[in-house]
Amino acid sequence: MSTNEELIGRGEVDDLEAILSVVNTDVDEALHAVRDNAESIFTWDYEKGARPALNKLYEKAKGAQWNGETDLPWDTPVDPYEVVVNNFVSQGQSGVAEFDVAGTPFEKWSDEQWLEFGVQSDNWALSQFMHGEQGALLCTAKIVETVPWIDAKYYAATQVMDEARHVEVFAKYLDEKLTGHYPINAHLKLLLDDIVADSRWDMTYLGMQIMVEGLALAAFGFMHMMTTEPLLKQLLRYVMSDEARHVAFGVLSLQEFYTELTDKEIGERQEFAFEAAVRMRDRFLQQEVWERMGVPVKDAIEGVMRTPTRQMFQMMIFSKIVPNTKKLGLLDRNGQWLRRRFEELGVIQFEDWVDTGEEYEAFALQELAERASA
């Protein structure tokens, strides 16, 4: 198995200097090309039902489509500064500074600066969600082309529509309700490039459906819990219902395929999962926000990003990924290699949480109940 240096370019996963050395040097580019090395696969076997769980998911997806323009209350007024204040109050906070600011760059920050930081943080987080959803759009279109099973192609086609809708609603919210968007984070960009460039169809599933979508599902849930803004809350709830099906699609598809792989092949998937996990964790340090606020990035991260709320968020984003990789048999193959890596990241405690292959039904039922009461 590869070393940390070979996989993530550093020996210690928490080496902050190495993490911050990864930057996006093309923030002004409008188009970004990545070579897709995969073959498009036709199948002449059109029989449905060979994989009943996938067929069931496909039927649910067809009935769960929603319209981003008409199903969300876009006339809801949103003042991003008022939202930040309301969020602080709802969480019992008087401000963002949950740490001793003495001797830090924040020592002389005014309430207005903390408020601006809250607004920029929301802009940044939703921007990265939007970029990640476009990555999912491209990757799911690739799955339609490359997966050899007709029932998987059918379901993946419904997800392409879902992802287009997600990009649309996040872009609309950022442009019409907030104050614009941030460029893609360098760590997220590198991960999406790797997923798109890999020629193996199951790696597209693993990278996007299990890792990126699994993290997004957890992150959306955290933001849904923390925000007081009703339009964003409803938007996130609709997106989460879709995302739960997407992750379940990955779990149901790969669970069958991975039982047939050799230890060497599983090892490659374990390494890819670890690399993806680290890149996604690193992107949430939001270094671009600190740069825009004119604060030394390392000092900011060592202060704000080490607070209890931020640390809880950094761990909770793995609450879907760890049980899903366990269900796929990736945790303990090859001498428990991936288990050791998740222990190193401090997230192994989520291994026995409900995996999304079983959980997506609950998301759908909750969404139906919310629509009925709206």
Per-residue model confidence as pLDDT tens digits over 37-77: 899 999 999 988 888 989 999 999 998 999 999 999 999 99
- The pLDDT value recorded for residue 108 is 85
60-69, 90-99, 140-149, 342-351, range with the lowest pLDDT:
90-99
Q: Specify if 250 maps to a domain.
A: yes
Q: Specify if 74 maps to a domain.
A: no
Is the model's pLDDT at 317 over the cut of 60? yes
- The pLDDT value recorded for residue 94 is 54
Q: Specify if 229 maps to a domain.
A: yes
Domain count, the chain: 1
- Top pLDDT among 147 and 1 is at 147
- The pLDDT value recorded for residue 339 is 97
Q: Specify if 49 maps to a domain.
A: no
Q: Specify if 18 maps to a domain.
A: no
Is the model's pLDDT at 333 over the cut of 80? yes
Is the model's pLDDT at 183 over the cut of 90? yes
pLDDT band at 305 (very low <50, low <70, confident <90, very high): low
With a pLDDT cut of 90, the percent of the chain lying above it is: 58
With a pLDDT cut of 70, the percent of the chain lying above it is: 91
Q: Specify if 289 maps to a domain.
A: yes
Q: What is the mean pLDDT of the chain?
A: 89
Over residues 100-126, the mean pLDDT reads 87
Q: Specify if 16 maps to a domain.
A: no
pLDDT band at 367 (very low <50, low <70, confident <90, very high): low
What torsion, rounded to 10 degrees, do the Cα atoms 119, 124, 130, 135 define?
-170
pLDDT band at 97 (very low <50, low <70, confident <90, very high): low
Q: Domain with 97 in it: what CATH number?
A: 1.20.1260.10
Range of the domain at 289: 89-373
Over residues 20-26, the mean pLDDT reads 86
Is the model's pLDDT at 368 over the cut of 60? no
Is the model's pLDDT at 265 over the cut of 80? yes
- The pLDDT value recorded for residue 14 is 84
pLDDT band at 363 (very low <50, low <70, confident <90, very high): low
- The pLDDT value recorded for residue 20 is 87
Over residues 139-144, the mean pLDDT reads 96
Please give the span between the terminal C-alpha atoms of the chain, in angstroms, as a whole number. Answer: 52
Over residues 263-292, the mean pLDDT reads 92
90-104, 153-167, 271-285, 355-369, range with the lowest pLDDT:
355-369
Is the model's pLDDT at 372 over the cut of 60? no
- The pLDDT value recorded for residue 24 is 85
Over residues 199-206, the mean pLDDT reads 94
Over residues 309-337, the mean pLDDT reads 88
Q: Specify if 217 maps to a domain.
A: yes
Is the model's pLDDT at 130 over the cut of 90? yes
